[in-house]
Amino acid sequence: MMLRRWMAAGLVAVATAGVLNAVPAAAERPYDPTAQSLRALGQRHGLYVGTAVDMAALADPAEPRYREIVRDEFSTVTAENVMKWESLEPTRGSYDWSAADELVATARRNGQKVRGHVLVWHSQLPKWLTDGVADGSIDNTELRSILRRHITTVASRYRGKIWQWDVVNEAVSDPWDTPSTLHYKGFWAEHLGPGYVADAFRWARAADPTALLFYNDYNIEAFGSGDPANDKTQFVYDMVKGLLARGVPVDGVGSQGHLGTQYGNYDTLQVADALHRFAGLGLSTAFTEVDVRSRLTDGVQAGDSEEINPRLQASAANFHVLLQACLAEPRCLSFTVWGFTDRHSWVPGTFDDPPQGLATIYDENYQPKRAYQVMKADLIYAGPPYVRMRATPKPRR
């Protein structure tokens, strides 16, 4: 097989030797899109391609590739953890900005935009806050003013430096929660009621007039998954529609895009339809945390290619669906992956029973996977009339 291919190549070379000149000089070579970075290719559509950044990996002297890939391949970055409340205010009243400032400074050096993540979320809250609420030393009136102060403090500090803020993250339940009817879930809804969502957007706008303000959630890639009466995407759609009707300054909906190859997932048309419907409300959209994990079966762990190959291909196919759908909607402003290498991915540490992984676009040795090539091809082979330049929305007052 190898021999035959080599012989065939040799024959072609002999047959054309008289016609072909020497290799042309670099300047004369035709433009080769496959040699371009994701960020450069995204720019053709005005689309920002992003990654979550693990600040420990970014600072690690033993990880130069991590820094290079962050710098070269992406045009927007998100702090994977360092802008979360537990990181910013570990002790009540004293903020530690060092790591978050470092992320913003790195982005500036690299000519990248920043997605701020996150102002209000039920998870990764400081212990002093959750303990204070649990033991009754912080009542709900005080809790609301603590939240207001936090949003104001963080959004003011980074005013003018954040492109999109995830103002509220994961406020809505899933069909597997109790009760199974979709509802506002978690710490903030339990203590302040669902009104905290509108409050958070208003407080964020007051502190930062220039950022685009996003609601961000998972399992909202498409409408109509599961029971139509209990559709999370529809719930979020109705929620943001209601907020807009009341004049709440919501600019966009972020779809996290955490998928797994073991699930049914969606096709491009379903995902594009969801993005078009949010756009129909006058909202921007973004994919904010894309990764596509797989079960690490015994065979996968033993290196069995018959088990590994279909998973890598299925993972790539899901990256393709989300990216192609985003390209199809001009109000889909950015496509961010939640870590770009299996070497630094939250998946193995979080989904460990049963073990999962292989969720990103580069392997553990920083080799681009099929998913990376598929993203590149999507960005190359797209253009008018169906893929147009991105819109440039103005922040809502």
- Looking at the Cβ atoms of 106 and 219, the one nearer to ligand XIL is 219
Nearest alpha carbon to residue 371 among 360, 357, 381, 382:
360
- Could you say which residues in the range 143-202 bind ligand XIL, by CB under 6 A? 169
Rank residues 45 and 117 by Cβ distance to ligand XIL and give the closer one: 117
How crowded is the C-beta side of 332, counted as CA atoms within 13 Å? 28
| CB of residue 116 to ligand XIL, shortest distance in Å | 12
- Closest distance between ligand XIL and the C-beta of residue 354, in Å? 19
DSSP string of 75-133? SEEEESSTTSHHHH-SBTTB---HHHHHHHHHHHHTT-EEEEEEEE-SSS--HHHHHHH
The active-site residue, picked from 73, 170, 221, 329, is: 170
- Residue 63 and residue 31 in contact, taking contact as beta carbons nearer than 8 Å: no
Is 80 among the residues that bind ligand XIL (CB under 6 A)?
yes
What is the distance between the alpha carbons of residues 342 and 362, in angstroms, rounded to a whole number?
A: 6
Distance from C-alpha of 78 to C-alpha of 88, rounded to nearest angstrom = 15
Q: Does 289 bind ligand XIL (CB under 6 A)?
A: yes
Cα-flanking dihedrals φ and ψ of residue 108, to 5°?
-60, -45
When binding is defined by CB under 6 A, the residue of 158, 346, 362, 372 that contacts ligand XIL is 346
> How many residues belong to the site for ligand XIL (CB under 6 A)?
6
Q: How far is the CB of 104 from ligand XIL (least distance, A)?
A: 17
Say whether 142 is catalytic. no
341 binds ligand XIL (CB under 6 A): no
Per DSSP (E only), the strands in 245-374 are 252-255, 258-260, 284-295, 332-337, 356-357
- Looking at the Cβ atoms of 257 and 330, the one nearer to ligand XIL is 257
Q: How far is the CB of 340 from ligand XIL (least distance, A)?
A: 13
The residue type at 32: D
CB of 32 to ligand XIL, least distance (A): 34
Q: Which residue, 79 or 323, is less far from ligand XIL as judged by CB? A: 79
Q: What angle do CA 123, 256, 246 make, to 5 degrees?
A: 80
**Is residue 81 near ligand XIL by the rule CB under 6 A?**
yes
- Selected catalytic residue, list 89, 221, 289, 329: 289
Angle (deg, nearest 10), helices 268-280 and 232-245: 20
- Nearer Cβ to ligand XIL, position 118 or 211? 118
**Residue 291 is a binding residue for ligand XIL (CB under 6 A):** no
Per the annotation, the verdict on 170 as an active-site residue is yes
Binding region for ligand XIL (CB under 6 A): 80-81, 169, 256, 289, 346
What are the catalytic residues? Answer: 170, 289
